[in-house]
């Protein structure tokens, strides 16, 4: 299947299957609608899709389960390289399906995420300074074991699974005027843009220190970038995925960059004001609104994806002056 053929029809078919047959595993997470004023933003409404309440603490559970139930899984199980959240989602799905799971994580991954992986029964291999090195080691292991390769963001079933989040948002609240989406390798924005197409303005948000999509647009094709900064453990891919590149070329006009300071400020605001624990990667949407990087219309309804509950609670402590 050509990668651009990921579309609403395909996503909806997966959503129906997951909703009917795997509702005991996946959760329908709340869509919290607030006035823009409540978040200090001059717009009609801000919708918070609380995907940190999903199994595994992030939207990743959708795509990982979808990949597994769409594939034949050998006795050697599944194997994945991940900064943490995709690995946790894979381990949770593997545990539910009763299959082996091996997860390669980079050294930058948090100990909290590694501990959660082990709790879910996964074998954890820490290798390499960044995600790309963990991925290379994962590929070697997959060839040795014959396990089903799970990709954190660049497989059709994974991206379409992420797109079911868009289907759920629409079922709960309708089509928002805009959806602000954090980008690492691009699985989430690929799925969201494929679902909403041009019915909603899908905006790509990246840290200045991990600009995979922004750099690809400057170069005219996916390119490797240096990755660092506060969100590197979640948005740690060094290159935008091929599927996300294809879909965003068709359906995403805006790719914006945000500073680590703006991201961190928004993350702490979510915790202090709304008591929402989220990783820095999940705070980019609010950071874009509160910093003025994205300026909505006064009558606009803006949707943000809040996820990434696998963080060290101590990281939410406000630094002392």
Beta strands, E only, the chain: 31-35, 45-50, 78-81, 101-105, 123-126, 148-150, 178-182, 201-207, 254-258, 301-306
Ranges of CATH 3.40.50.1100 domains, the chain: 3-59+155-316, 60-150
Tokens of 296: 């909505």
pLDDT at position 321: 47
**Cα of 139 vs its chain's centroid, Å:** 22
The answer to whether 290 and 266 have CB atoms below 8 angstroms apart is: yes
User: Which one, of 73, 67, 74, 59, lies nearest residue 26 by Cα?
Assistant: 59
pLDDT at position 319: 58
In the chain (321 residues long), the average pLDDT of successive 10-residue segments reads 72 91 94 97 98 93 96 97 90 96 91 91 94 92 98 95 97 98 96 96 97 96 92 83 95 96 96 93 96 98 90 73 47
pLDDT at position 2: 47
Whole-number Cα distances in Å, 151 to 6, 185, 299, 317: 17, 10, 39, 33
Q: Is 187 exposed, middle or buried (0-12, 13-18, 19+ CB in 10 A)?
A: buried
User: How many CA atoms does the CB half-sphere of 250 hold within 13 Å?
Assistant: 19
Tokens of 251: 């359906």
Neighbour-count burial for 309-319, b at 16+ CB within 10 Å, e otherwise: bbbeeebbeee
The answer to whether 97 and 77 have CB atoms below 8 angstroms apart is: no
CA distance 174 to 177: 10
The answer to whether 241 and 257 have CB atoms below 8 angstroms apart is: no
**Where is 188: in which H helix or E strand?**
helix 187-196
- CATH T-level topology, domain 60-150: Rossmann fold (3.40.50)
The answer to whether 107 and 128 have CB atoms below 8 angstroms apart is: yes
The answer to whether 305 and 204 have CB atoms below 8 angstroms apart is: no
* Class of the CATH-defined domain 3-59+155-316: alpha beta
CA distance 284 to 305: 9
Q: Are strands 31-35 and 45-50 parallel, antiparallel or unpaired?
A: antiparallel
User: Which one, of 142, 149, 90, 150, lies nearest residue 120 by Cα?
Assistant: 90
Whole-number Cα distances in Å, 106 to 113, 155, 182, 206, 252: 11, 20, 20, 20, 30
If one counts every other C-beta atom within 10 angstroms of the C-beta of residue 153, the result is 25
Neighbour-count burial for 31-52, b at 16+ CB within 10 Å, e otherwise: bebeebeebebebbbbbbbbbb
The answer to whether 109 and 308 have CB atoms below 8 angstroms apart is: no
């Amino acid at each position: 299947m050509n990668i651009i053929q990921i579309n609403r029809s395909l996503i909806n078919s997966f959503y129906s299957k997951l909703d009917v047959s795997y509702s005991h595993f996946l959760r329908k997470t709340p869509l919290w609608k607030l006035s823009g004023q409540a978040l200090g933003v001059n717009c009609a409404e801000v919708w918070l899709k609380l995907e940190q309440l999903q199994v595994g603490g992030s939207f990743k559970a959708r795509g990982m389960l979808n990949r597994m139930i769409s594939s034949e899984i050998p006795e050697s199980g599944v194997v994945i390289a991940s900064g943490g959240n995709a690995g946790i989602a894979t381990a949770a799905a593997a545990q539910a399906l009763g299959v082996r799971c091996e997860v390669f994580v980079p050294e930058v991954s948090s100990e909290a995420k590694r501990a959660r992986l082990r709790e879910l029964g996964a074998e954890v291999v820490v290798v390499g300074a960044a995600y790309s090195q963990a991925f290379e080691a994962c590929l070697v292991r997959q060839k040795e074991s014959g396990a089903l390769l799970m990709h954190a963001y660049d497989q059709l079933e994974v991206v379409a699974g992420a797109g079911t989040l868009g289907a759920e948002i629409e079922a709960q609240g309708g089509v928002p005027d805009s959806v602000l989406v954090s980008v690492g390798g691009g699985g989430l924005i690929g799925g969201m843009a494929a679902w909403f197409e041009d019915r909603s303005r899908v905006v790509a948000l990246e840290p200045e220190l991990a600009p995979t999509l922004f750099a690809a647009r400057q170069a005219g094709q996916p390119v490797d970038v240096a990755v660092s900064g506060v969100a590197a453990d979640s948005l740690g891919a060094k290159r935008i995925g091929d599927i996300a590149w294809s879909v965003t070329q068709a359906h995403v006009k805006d790719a914006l960059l945000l500073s680590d300071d703006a991201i961190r400020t928004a993350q702490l605001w979510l915790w202090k004001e709304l008591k929402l624990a989220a990783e820095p990667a999940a705070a980019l949407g609010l950071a874009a609104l509160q910093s003025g990087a994205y300026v909505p219309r006064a009558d606009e309804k803006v949707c943000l994806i809040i996820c990434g509950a696998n963080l060290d609670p101590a990281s939410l402590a406000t630094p002392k002056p």
